[in-house]
Amino acid sequence: MTQYRTAPICWNQDYSVGVDILDRHHQTLASLINQLAERTEDNIKSEKMVDILTALVSYAEYHFRHEEDLMAAAGYVDLENHRLEHRHFCEIIAETCYGATLGIVGVKELFSYLTRWWRNHILLEDMKYKPYLANTPETEAA
């Protein structure tokens, strides 16, 4: 069996998309994902685990809506593709979380997938809107 260990996400300025509210959303997503790092295989079906996954999915949906609204308001050109990326993530995560609660997907595998997704999505996709949202007014509290 392959042994691997993924480091928990540690937010730093390199991950900043230049809009405080979206950075705070990304930090909240990271802390929800990091909670999985502390879980072990034998408690993946526990209520606490289901609570973490449910919170993660609903917070991701909330964040995506907010991010897409700001991108639309800023006239971001590639919004439709970004929207598809978000939708794809929601589908994958719903399946993966379901697989995890059935014991098909291990908690370490799930944590590793989510960590990679979080880093790649922010650094490769979210960063593309950074110049467009540079003048976004801060209107919503976290």
Helices (H) then strands (E): counts for the chain: 4, 0
Cβ closest to Fe ion, residue 32 vs residue 67: 67
Helix (H) or strand (E) holding 99: helix 79-102
**Residue 23 found at the interface with Fe ion (CB under 5 A):** no
User: Other CB atoms closer than 10 Å to residue 26's CB: what's the count?
Assistant: 21
Judged by CB under 5 A, the residue of 32, 53, 126, 132 near Fe ion is: 126
75 to 114: interface string for Fe ion, x by CB under 5 A: ----------------------------------------
- Please state the separation of Cα 141 from the chain's center in Å: 19
Q: Which is nearer to Fe ion, 62 or 98 (CB)?
A: 62
- Closer to Fe ion by CB, 15 or 111: give it: 15
Cβ proximity to Fe ion: between 2 and 13 the closer is 13
Residue 85 Cβ, how far from Fe ion at the closest point, in Å? 7
Answer yes or no: are the C-beta atoms of 67 and 17 closer than 8 Å: no
Kindly compute the dihedral angle of the four CA atoms of residues 84, 89, 94, 97, in this order, to the nearest 10 degrees.
Answer: 170
Question: Is 4 in a helix, a strand, or coil?
Answer: coil
With contacts defined by CB under 5 A, name the span among 1-9, 89-97, 109-117, 119-127 that binds Fe ion. Answer: 119-127
Q: Which residue is nearest to Fe ion (CB)?
A: 126
Q: What is the DSSP letter of 76?
A: -
